[in-house]
Structure 1
Amino acid sequence: MIKKKILIAEDEARIARILALELEHEGYETEIAGTGKEAFAAMQKGDFDLVLLDVMLPEISGFEVLRRVRMEDETTPIILVTARDSVYDKVNGLDHGANDYIAKPFEMEELLARVRSAIRTSEAQANKRGSGNIRIVGDLKADLMTRVVLKDNKEVELTKREFDLLVFLMEYKNQILTREQLLDAVWGFAYSGETNVVDVYIGYLRKKLDSKGESSLIHTVRGVGFTMKGTKDEH
Structure 2
Amino acid sequence: MKPTLLLIGERALELRERLEASGYDTVGWSGSDAVQSIGAGLIPQDRVKAVLITSDELAVVPLLQKSCGAGDRVPLLVEAMADDLAARSQCLKLGANDFWVQDGPPSDLLQRLRLQLALEPRPHSLFDAPAGDTKQATLKLLDLRLEPRQRRAWRGERELQLTEREYSLLLLLLEHQGGSVSRQTILEEVWGQSDEEANANVIEVYVRYLRRKLEENGERRLIHTVRGVGYTLRS
Q: What is the TM-score normalised by the length of structure 1? A: 0.48
TM-score (norm 2): 0.48
Which has more radius of gyration? 1
